[in-house]
Structure 1
Amino acid sequence: MNAHLRTVTVAGFATLSLALAPGQPAADDSLGEARLREALLDAVDFPEGWASDSEEAAERRGFGVPEPSERRCRELFDSSVDGSQSAGFAKTETGPFVTTTATDHGSTGEARAALAEFRAAAGRCETFHADEGPAGNAVTVAYEAQPGETPGGLGDESTALSYRRSLDGEGAGTPVRLEVVVARVGPHLVRVAQAGRDAGDAAEEGELAPMAERAVAKLAEVAGGGTPAPSPDQPGTTRL
């Protein structure tokens, strides 16, 4: 197994405890596009200072969570499965940036196979490239796999990757850390990716873990027939 690929499998997930009423779907039931979108992270799930981002804004900037030039690596940060739902967020115009994607694979077996393919893609993509920067001034950068840790107890099983960016062909450049977590909840996968400066800032380190935990919790609740409520410790919510 590659050193940068970390996997966690648990016998059941403890993110939520759900009592299902008759007629409510179980986590093994398929979700439509509307329910998948309901399961996505939204701005209120983030700490103060974060806001929704869009593909159009990312295209104008020329940077964010990267799209690998190598097709074989694109599945690391997005899903090509029809009906997948995605959202993006940014803390400032220069990052960090977060994208999240929820996918219904139709069956637990298909979701397991998709996660296995993600792991295989990670093995093929210990280095990948991306063009970043505003139109007409883009440069090619390289992302190289780095060791890291997987947040524990996410869904039925989970995998995480870490990369560090440098200018292609040079030993130095603006240091950027890129992380992605993928977790399985029954027949569904959710992935959360974050790209931001790698300056050893303790305030920014570890931000992805609570985002991934919240993403898994929301997907589990929707898969169980519930409607996610805003986390009470986030801005814009009220503790009753």
Structure 2
Amino acid sequence: MNAHLRTVTVAGLVTLSLALAPGQPAAADALGESQLKAALLDPLDFPEGWASDSEEAAAERGFGVPEPAENACGELFDSSADEAQRAGFAKTQTGPFVTTVATAHGDTAAARHALDAFRAAADACDTFHTEEGPAGDQTTVAYDQEPSGDPRALGDESAAARYQRRLGDPDTGPSVLVEVVIARVGPHLVRVAQAGREEPDADPLTAIADRAVAKLTEAARGGTPAPHPDQPGTTEL
């Protein structure tokens, strides 16, 4: 995998064109299933070279955004909410990998409670374990939490966590990192997680999270997220 997952602010990296139609009112209620799907990231929101990914493909290759074995850590990279909408993306067969999950809650208080559950999971999960590798040849690996710095605020409020895979031999190559950003927009949450190897030519997660929050914000206002102004086209792995 060839990603470096530092959260950095890159001025002008993402140009958004998400204006509401004239006179269109802001939405007061939580979004429905179709609206949440429209607010999800899609391949056109990514730089050139990214493609759609799936849970089935991730399971087949045995690598992707990890699924912690510990129940207390399950809310870090996904959501247990039944109505959650999900999408996955990959740059190559070996990464980096990105997943995004959008959820609508009954009201703002419920969304805040769900965001607090994420923060509690991050506080409780200094280390988590997961299985990596193709079926029949899996290995249990550990990820240790490391400081995520002071991430820039997104949406109405946000939080972030960052983990590094524990390697037995420090000379085996670049570290494997996973980072997640979660943001609240009214009664909605969106989280974006990226996993890959720590390398200098990384794609910053900030731009991807910016786009995810902007699309959800536009949908929550009652608008339809406009296509990315610099559509790179789709890619197949």
Tell me whether the two structures share a fold, i.e. TM-score over 0.5. yes
Structure 1 residues 50-61: aligned runs within 5 Å? 50-61=50-61
Cα distance in 2 between the residues matched to 1:119 and 1:102: 17
Matched residues, percent identical? 63
Higher relative contact order (CA 8 A, sep 6+): 2
Partner SS, residue 58 of structure 1: helix
Query: Runs of 5+ in structure 2 lacking a partner?
Result: 1-6, 8-15
Contact kept in structure 2, 1:150 and 1:159, CA below 8 Å: no
Contact kept in structure 2, 1:39 and 1:215, CA below 8 Å: yes
In structure 1, the residue matched to 2:13 is none
Amino acid at match of 2:107: S
Amino acid at match of 1:208: L
Cα distance in 1 between the residues matched to 2:64 and 2:111: 27
In structure 1, the residue matched to 2:4 is none
1:204 paired to 2:202: yes
Cα distance in 1 between the residues matched to 2:153 and 2:66: 27
In structure 1, the residue matched to 2:213 is 216
Partner SS, residue 236 of structure 1: coil
Cα distance in 1 between the residues matched to 2:129 and 2:100: 21
Cα distance in 1 between the residues matched to 2:223 and 2:21: 9
Contact kept in structure 2, 1:149 and 1:160, CA below 8 Å: no
In structure 2, the residue matched to 1:49 is 49
Cα distance in 2 between the residues matched to 1:32 and 1:79: 17
In structure 2, the residue matched to 1:235 is 232
Partner SS, residue 202 of structure 2: coil
Contact kept in structure 2, 1:20 and 1:224, CA below 8 Å: no
Cα distance in 1 between the residues matched to 2:185 and 2:150: 16
Cα distance in 2 between the residues matched to 1:33 and 1:163: 31
Partner SS, residue 75 of structure 1: coil
In structure 2, the residue matched to 1:9 is none
Contact kept in structure 2, 1:20 and 1:225, CA below 8 Å: no
Cα distance in 2 between the residues matched to 1:150 and 1:45: 25
Deviation at 1:19, TM superposition (A): 6.5
What is the RMSD of the two structures over their aligned residues, measured on CA atoms? 2.0
In structure 2, the residue matched to 1:147 is 147
Cα distance in 2 between the residues matched to 1:78 and 1:153: 20
Structure 1 residues 1-240: aligned runs within 5 Å? 18=20, 21=23, 24-26=25-27, 28-167=28-167, 170=168, 172=170, 175-199=175-199, 201=200, 203-204=201-202, 207-236=204-233
Matched residues, number: 217
Deviation at 1:153, TM superposition (A): 3.5
Cα distance in 1 between the residues matched to 2:21 and 2:108: 21
Query: Runs of 5+ in structure 1 lacking a partner?
Result: 1-5, 7-14
Contact kept in structure 1, 2:86 and 2:102, CA below 8 Å: yes
Partner SS, residue 74 of structure 2: helix
